[in-house]
Chains A and B, each alone.
Chain A
């Protein structure tokens, strides 16, 4: 009983029109839950609902019926017996007559009719009775939007799933549907309505049957909707797009052939409309309808369609794009136009459907005949009149489509039009054989029009050849016999003579034509191999001789590339062979020849482009290139040009070829071999004057070495490093095995340029190694590196940093006992004693301390009196520090402490033992700003992303968020030191160092600390304005500030400090050395004008006065920003004088 009262409460709450929608849904859910948990049967519910369902109060009745219907919708997975369903159907269908409760009736019918057979579905006779009741009682168009949608859904579902039962309704059904659809305007309802018509056509497919007699009436309803056009942008609640609706209407149009007499004339009429979308739609509909209606029905319209198609093409086809930028292989490239694309695909559809009729239309067309007959007069592109050009382009496209669509159409076009044009130009079919053997177009001037149409025809039939199996078709025979003529014709356009250089369209036509001829994919047919080879020869001669004609040269190279990539797909074919021998080999030959006039940079470009055609060609070319590089390297000492050549080749290798190889995979052996060969060469250089005397060449070699090693696997890297190490130990004076043990005499490490070169090359190998690669004699190398870095060799320091970055740490458990661990390496670096002989040559000594021993870190602190040594030590330490910082090692703290120590060292009294004899200089040395400036630079090295080393490309170990961590640990230290520093110099150094740290830290971290940082940041900005060399770091820092101003997080801190920020920025708006600084400062001021007026109003006059000067800035961009800024600041007060 309790349950019943609960149920009554739910029902009351649902039916009560005054309760909120969410309440109603909640009570509905509760009732459904009761039924689903078997706490309530449907029968009981109906009985309980009884008085609501039959009430005379319409409001209660309609809510009651709706409740029952909604419940049914939600229990569609609970099975019901057929008797229940039948009686429910009976109830709901009768309710359709009750227009006040029609929503519930519709929802109920829909819920019932959508039931699946496993849970008990509506029988055929029930479906029919629902339909009958629907047709009898419902006036769809008089209902509201949602109810109409329900009606259409119901009808749609009935037509989809209960076809057999309702088919017998015949006329009533058709009339009812017509009535329902008539004048519907809502897109969503229309989607359903169009679909209903389509289903209706499927229901009565007989072309002379029932629907045929009503076709006119049905189509009259559909006709007004074409073309679909939304007057208002679709917004929010409707999700139907124009295209969806248009597609559905198209299926309705194409649903039955009985619409044909009405549809096609309508479409043809709309095709001539000026509305762009109407044109596109008509073309689309025509294509779909003609494929659905069949060839027979369409035949009588073909003529009309053809002529309007032709007109459309004349109007909408743009100017062809005579450029090789995109270089598609299918005919001439036209600017994309949807109308043209649709028109051509309609044409294609018509040709497929009714080839003979269309082809005869095309061949007998008067425009086509006009063009082909007067072809002889179109000699130059520029002399053809605009009208005729349009026709030429359009007919070209039509020929392209007809050649590519089907074999019969292609045959017909070749037989009639192609031969006719040949006749007009004087190569009749009879004398073709005579011309074939190299016969030239004797005294025949180049004919643009003919060649243009040929290109379209050829590219069309090229596509056909690829698809068709039968090769001995008529068109192939014709093409075969005239290939030599065509080759000569295209080739002659490109002839460059003293008095003639081909114009742009000519070049395009010539190159494109030859390219298409060369890209027929069979070896002998239809284009013979000899022609293919002639084409390659022709192109190569252009490459070698006509480099002065930039456009021609580039186009030819592109064409060669396309041909190469094409034949590469059939790599064993004869054409691929000829390509290799005529192009690839020739290009390689060119590389070694000095006597041809082709400039070297173009040679390299050609080499690269041809190499890109395929891996096989690329490898061949790489080999040739490697040969050339080494030949030139061995001659650098005697020959200046080979020096430049070598640099260019190395650049090309590392910047172009290597990335291509990496992208396309494989060929690693080759890259390793290349690296090893460079080492061989480096070793052999011993006997000559060194090639390393010039920086440019050395840089190029280092880069090539780094990139090649970087992309190899561990095994290959092991090979390379072994080779490198053996060269280093055998060809230089470095005594690697002894370096750690023996005290070194002075002079030994006075490095010769050649030794330094080899060392640098070695360093670049080390930089690029993977962490797993085994480095021989690490101890010896560490000692060597420490000493050489003190000489100021930066790449060595980078190599040392990379080594430390990748060594395995003890805590991670180094598996091999002979491997040096990170901790040991650090021990060597920081505890190895370096001592000085009396003449200041530094030496390393590992033995017992004798009082004057110092270590690397002491050098950084300036214990010696050699300031250069100190700077070098600091620079070296910074790279070591970077290696450690990236992997997140503890030691970085000590290193940064040393740097900060340097920065503030004038405050500190001497606390470390000094080298004897340098005492008197110490005070002066300690204050030396040069070395201390190096320490500020060290922070830049630590924080910035390096390109040369220690990045992902060179396999560095990078701990996530290392910059954030470093910043958070350094910030308190810096803030404290800055606030305490009492000397001007050390304060400025600290600020500068901190500026480096801040400008490279991700903005998000800075924002969190904005409050503390803003005063310091402004101090930094002000300090950096003093020296012109600081302009880049100044700009970087200003960007940090502007980030704070624009981000929400920073705003609060900004508001507090608005006063000092504005004052700081005002000083920057006339910073003379960098435009971007001024521009950004002004933009920051604009951002500040958005702050609460109370804060900024007092500063208004000041800002305006400062900006006033910027209106007369030397740079336009600054002036523009100033105008905006002035406006922003002037308008924050309501009253404004004329000047402001």
Chain B
């Protein structure tokens, strides 16, 4: 079983300290708008589990806070992730997880763009194309095995 893993021995990094935001809502700022920002997006996806290891994407440094670009005004998000190994066949699964999680967490006005970090994957262009083709994403989610796998990866991020 173990030999079947694509990256048998990944490097584990420390989790970043969760920043406590001042959530105190004073009566005065009851109506002020808190725009969706980089940290909020990162908080949505940091706890997604890696498909083949019991670690979160954050611990494996597949995603970092800096790799999230967001523009609340234009309703646009781009997440760039870095697979742990170049030929990682899990890259599409990871990408699919990221996309599904963001689709479920962001308001529908958002356009979500998921990309593999340039130079970090052997078939970069193909992966990018596959992840951003909504027909193919929809088709992938018709596949019960894939959906189960995605749901399993997303489970810890909803706690």
The interface bits of chain A over 1099-1140 (1 if a CB of B lies within 8 angstroms of the residue's CB, else 0) are: 000000000110110111101100110110011000010110
- Is A1114 a contact of B141 with CB atoms below 8 Å? no
- Is B104 a contact of A1073 with CB atoms below 8 Å? no
| Shortest Cβ gap from A645 to chain B (Å) | 29
A-side interface mostly: helix
Complex Cα distance, B138 from A1120, in Å, reads 25
- Chain A residue contacts of B106, Cβ below 8 A: 1111
- Is B107 a contact of A1111 with CB atoms below 8 Å? yes
- Is B108 a contact of A1108 with CB atoms below 8 Å? yes
User: Taking CB as reference atom, which chain A residue is nearest B100?
Assistant: A1138
User: Taking CB as reference atom, which chain A residue is nearest B109?
Assistant: A1112
- Chain B residue contacts of A1124, Cβ below 8 A: 158
The interface bits of chain B over 38-52 (1 if a CB of A lies within 8 angstroms of the residue's CB, else 0) are: 001001100000000
Does A1042 belong to the interface (CB within 8 Å)? no
The interface bits of chain B over 91-119 (1 if a CB of A lies within 8 angstroms of the residue's CB, else 0) are: 00000000010011111110000000000
Q: Which of B30, B104, B151 contacts A1123 (CB 8 A)?
A: B104
- Is A1127 a contact of B158 with CB atoms below 8 Å? yes
Q: Which of B21, B31, B105, B147 contacts A1116 (CB 8 A)?
A: B21
- Chain B residue contacts of A1075, Cβ below 8 A: 25, 30
Complex Cα distance, B33 from A1116, in Å, reads 9
Q: Which of B105, B107, B137, B151 contacts A1138 (CB 8 A)?
A: B137
User: Taking CB as reference atom, which chain A residue is nearest B147?
Assistant: A1136
Complex Cα distance, B101 from A693, in Å, reads 62
Known: A1116-B34, A1138-B141. A1127 touches B25 (CB 8 A): no
Complex Cα distance, B40 from A1120, in Å, reads 9
Does B23 belong to the interface (CB within 8 Å)? yes
- Chain A residue contacts of B21, Cβ below 8 A: 1116
Complex Cα distance, B105 from A1127, in Å, reads 9
Does A1074 belong to the interface (CB within 8 Å)? yes
Complex Cα distance, B25 from A1114, in Å, reads 12
- Chain A residue contacts of B104, Cβ below 8 A: 1123, 1126-1127, 1130
Tell me the number of A-to-B contacts counted with CB atoms below 8 Å: 49
- Chain B residue contacts of A1138, Cβ below 8 A: 100, 103, 137-138, 141
Known: A1073-B30, A1074-B30, A1138-B138. A1115 touches B103 (CB 8 A): no
- Chain A residue contacts of B147, Cβ below 8 A: 1136
- Is A1114 a contact of B34 with CB atoms below 8 Å? yes
Does A40 belong to the interface (CB within 8 Å)? no
Complex Cα distance, B107 from A1109, in Å, reads 7
| Shortest Cβ gap from A1062 to chain B (Å) | 21
Known: A1073-B30, A1139-B103. A1119 touches B40 (CB 8 A): yes
Q: Looking at A1115, A1117, A1131, which has the most chain B CB atoms within 10 Å of its CB?
A: A1115
- Report the contact-size class of chain A (Cβ under 8 Å from the partner): 20 to 34
Complex Cα distance, B32 from A946, in Å, reads 32
Does A1076 belong to the interface (CB within 8 Å)? yes
Complex Cα distance, B155 from A1131, in Å, reads 11
Does B36 belong to the interface (CB within 8 Å)? yes
User: Taking CB as reference atom, which chain B residue is nearest A1116?
Assistant: B34
- Chain A residue contacts of B23, Cβ below 8 A: 1116-1117
- Chain A residue contacts of B44, Cβ below 8 A: 1123
- Is A1115 a contact of B105 with CB atoms below 8 Å? no
Known: A1112-B107, A1127-B158. A1119 touches B141 (CB 8 A): no
Complex Cα distance, B32 from A840, in Å, reads 49
The interface bits of chain B over 3-28 (1 if a CB of A lies within 8 angstroms of the residue's CB, else 0) are: 00000000000000000010101000
- Chain A residue contacts of B33, Cβ below 8 A: 1114
Q: Looking at A1075, A1108, A1116, A1119, which has the most chain B CB atoms within 10 Å of its CB?
A: A1116
User: Taking CB as reference atom, which chain B residue is nearest A1076?
Assistant: B25
Q: Which of B104-151 contact A (CB under 8 A)?
A: 104-109, 137-138, 141, 147, 151
- Chain A residue contacts of B137, Cβ below 8 A: 1138
- Chain B residue contacts of A1072, Cβ below 8 A: 31
- Chain A residue contacts of B103, Cβ below 8 A: 1138-1139
| Shortest Cβ gap from B133 to chain A (Å) | 13
The interface bits of chain A over 1074-1099 (1 if a CB of B lies within 8 angstroms of the residue's CB, else 0) are: 11100000000000000000000000
Complex Cα distance, B137 from A737, in Å, reads 90
| Shortest Cβ gap from A1116 to chain B (Å) | 5
| Shortest Cβ gap from B157 to chain A (Å) | 9
Q: Looking at B25, B40, B43, which has the most chain A CB atoms within 10 Å of its CB?
A: B25
- Chain B residue contacts of A1073, Cβ below 8 A: 30
- Chain B residue contacts of A1126, Cβ below 8 A: 104
Known: A1124-B158, A1138-B138, A1138-B141. A1115 touches B100 (CB 8 A): no
Known: A1124-B158, A1138-B103, A1138-B141. A1119 touches B36 (CB 8 A): yes
What are the nearest 7 A-B pairs in CB distance?
A1112-B107, A1111-B107, A1114-B33, A1123-B105, A1116-B34, A1127-B158, A1075-B25
Starting from the known contacts A1114-B33, A1123-B158, 5 additional A-B residue pairs (CB-CB under 8 Å) come to: A1076-B25, A1108-B107, A1115-B25, A1119-B36, A1123-B104
A–B complex contacts, Cβ < 8 Å, 16 sampled: A1074-B30, A1075-B30, A1108-B108, A1109-B107, A1111-B105, A1111-B106, A1111-B107, A1112-B107, A1112-B109, A1114-B31, A1115-B34, A1116-B21, A1116-B36, A1119-B36, A1138-B100, A1138-B138
